[in-house]
Structure 1
Amino acid sequence: MSALTFFAGALAGALTWNFTAPLLEKKACFNPNPNQDGHWDVQPEAEEIRILLLGDTGSGDEHQQDVATASARTCDKLGCDLVLMLGDNFIQHGVSSVDDPQWISKFEEMYTQQVPFYPILGNHDLQGKWRPQVAYTERNERWRMPNVNYSLVAGPAYIQCINTSCTLCALWTLFKRKERPWRLVCGHRPLATGGRHRGVTWLERLLIERSGPQFFLSGHNHMLEHLKIGEIDQVVAGGGGSPLNHTAKKSNPHQIFLHLGHGYAWMHLTSTQATVRYFDDQGQEVYQFTRSA
């Protein structure tokens, strides 16, 4: 190889990196904490676990407050061991820093449940600065986001949280697993949906399906939805407060249930059975389903 060829290749590589690196940073493709394994244990020895699902929450208006109040009542009645926040935590443009006042109005004062919240990033979170959402883990003991991709062991469930704005950078983690009766994957964009916002790409969906979870939990479309995709139950809980998607595409062939309104979902997992219940913004149950491990 001549010196000229080597130099040309090095220059092309540098230019490509200089072009792609800002895009990868914008999409949160980089691991902000490379020395952390991004794993949490949440009551790992518990025989059952109760999970609240909130997506597309960060409007800061009366709709988010209605859902927050109703979900708090549900947690008081049924119990909640943890909350999974399914992205778009801060509408419309994410947060600017760990001192952004939205932390107070849209999280700390909004939610009264004294349990850990495990968030993932949505596309609107990436309109601002995403690194403060990871860093805020050191500021508030309820907010737990060690990395953009991370995992939990919660009772009988192994839960993997991924960034679907850079899914291909996270997919390898889906094939790392711990033996538990249930495996849940959380990603902001769904595998499939009847809503107007598209889900993940066909390749991402194929690889996620091949990794073998029983549940895929998401938001992105501002509504409540249940779809069955092969052996996977797709739960869309995107009604956490953001403006509703008043129009939906024609019914998806995988769709079983659709609620075009604000609300949230709640899961109860034992070693043998999973129950998912959907509630509207007044705390009224609108749908439920059960499956065996």
Structure 2
Amino acid sequence: MSRRLLPLLGLLLSACAPAVSGPVRSLPDVTATLGVPDPEHLRVVVMGDQGTGDGVQRRVAAAMGAVCQQQGCDLGVGLGDNFYPAGPREASSPLFKTRFADIYGPLNIPFLMVPGNHDESGLFGGDGTDARGAEAEVAYSKLNPQWVMPGRTYRAPVSAGQGGNLAEFFAVDTSPLAAYLPVHRASERPGGPWDAAQRAWLTGALQSSSARWKLVLGHHPLFSNGKHGDAGHYDGLPFAFQRGDAVQDLYGLACGKADVLLSGHVHALEVFAPQPECPGTWTAVSGAAGEIGGGKVGTRKAAAGFFGQPGFMWLEITPQMLTINIYTVAPDGVPTLAATQEIRK
């Protein structure tokens, strides 16, 4: 569907959408249990927007494997759009095998997964309106322990032995908060009971965490110089539910409390130091593990930015430092360390 038609269609559907009301029910505080070899040294490979099933996805996956073999990997992160053009509705779909298990199984590490707007497709691929796609991904986590997604919203602490947790990851579902059309479930629309419940969960989870490093995982970015832009201004669309106002509000709860926001959606590799709108928190976009279309549009000052190139990130976390390494992947599959950013405590 043409992006030019989205404002008109959004206006028509939003005018017909029922009012959002009802009590706010707490989301369950779901925890994924992780085991790592060294609780004070964590190595994480981060991919996003990978689920194309084409040669780019496979080439990046092979490059990730090469880096993991050389540098070591304890954990993976998948930042959404795990399937293009649309996610499956059943955990038994063969897409889980061909787009994930066959490609990333050889890495032999668990992946913390979050859903993206293509995973939650409804009327057309990528509209982000149907949470049944995310629920199928949650169900698949019971079939394949390498795919870690016990809920659409969950936390994953990494123990540091007697010293508490070295790191904790907080996964959120941003797709209903920036859908191109009103989402099917009225209660999950921005400002509704589900949105309020996810905000309350994230606030409480961050507050109760004693982790040395706190990282929030969501598909849509807070800041980006790519084609979608910043939250609250996505794609230059006119309606608050399309442009990500609620995504901006959700991430705002993590500003100054989380150390890093990790996201995809924009098919680029970007790192931003804490911004005036979100002091105390770094932002990293890793959305080039399959889809790579779109160049630089914005002018926000970035610590690093790579567009039109496939790639991924590799994080190294110790009690004193979190290091973000950006790898781009050449047509011959060779990964190149393109940028490094150290964050110290």
2:226–2:294 contact (8 Å) kept in structure 1: no
1:266 shift after superposition: 0.6
1:249 aligns with 2:294: no
1:93 aligns with 2:86: yes
Q: In the alignment, residue 280 of structure 1 is paired with which amino acid?
A: T
SS at match of 2:148: coil
1:272 shift after superposition: 1.0
SS at match of 1:109: helix
Q: 2:209 aligns with which of 173, 178, 183?
A: 178
Percent identity over paired residues: 26
Q: 1:115 aligns with which of 109, 134, 150?
A: 109
Task: Note closer, same or farther for the CA distance 1:205–1:285 as it changes in structure 2 (3 Å cut).
Answer: same
Q: Give me the whole-angstrom Cα distance separating, in 2, the residues matched to 1:118 and 1:193.
A: 22
1:99 shift after superposition: 2.0
1:248 shift after superposition: 2.5
Q: Give me the whole-angstrom Cα distance separating, in 2, the residues matched to 1:174 and 1:197.
A: 24
Give the match for residue 267 of structure 1. 315
Task: Note closer, same or farther for the CA distance 1:292–1:19 as it changes in structure 2 (3 Å cut).
Answer: same
Deviation by residue 1:64-119 (Cα, 9 ceiling, x = unmatched)? 00100000111111111111100100111111311222111110111111111110
1:199 shift after superposition: 4.0
Q: Which runs of 5+ in 1 are unaligned?
A: 1-17, 22-28
1:173 shift after superposition: 2.0
SS at match of 1:106: helix
Give the match for residue 239 of structure 1. 288
Alignment of 1:136-147 (within 5 A): 136-147=140-151
Q: Give me the whole-angstrom Cα distance separating, in 1, the residues matched to 2:175 and 2:43.
A: 27
SS at match of 2:89: coil
1:158 aligns with 2:158: no
Q: What's the TM-score once normalised by structure 2's chain length?
A: 0.71
Q: What's the TM-score once normalised by structure 1's chain length?
A: 0.84
Q: Give me the whole-angstrom Cα distance separating, in 2, the residues matched to 1:189 and 1:30.
A: 24
Q: Give me the whole-angstrom Cα distance separating, in 2, the residues matched to 1:20 and 1:65.
A: 44
1:150 shift after superposition: 0.3
Does 179-188 or 37-46 show the bigger shift?
37-46
Q: Which runs of 5+ in 2 are unaligned?
A: 1-16, 123-132, 160-165, 178-194, 232-244
1:163 shift after superposition: 0.7
Q: Give me the whole-angstrom Cα distance separating, in 1, the residues matched to 2:340 and 2:64.
A: 16
Task: Note closer, same or farther for the CA distance 1:65–1:203 as it changes in structure 2 (3 Å cut).
Answer: same
1:291 aligns with 2:319: no
Deviation by residue 1:184-231 (Cα, 9 ceiling, x = unmatched)? 111111111101113433433432315x11100010101101111232
SS at match of 2:265: coil
SS at match of 2:343: strand
1:30 shift after superposition: 9.4
Does 214-223 or 274-283 show the bigger shift?
274-283
Give the match for residue 190 of structure 1. 221
Alignment of 1:22-171 (within 5 A): 37-43=29-35, 46-111=39-104, 112-127=106-121, 129-155=133-159, 156-166=166-176, 168-169=195-196, 170-171=198-199
Task: Note closer, same or farther for the CA distance 1:251–1:46 as it changes in structure 2 (3 Å cut).
Answer: same
Q: Give me the whole-angstrom Cα distance separating, in 1, the residues matched to 2:254 and 2:230.
A: 12
Q: Give me the whole-angstrom Cα distance separating, in 1, the residues matched to 2:316 and 2:250.
A: 28
Higher strand share: 1
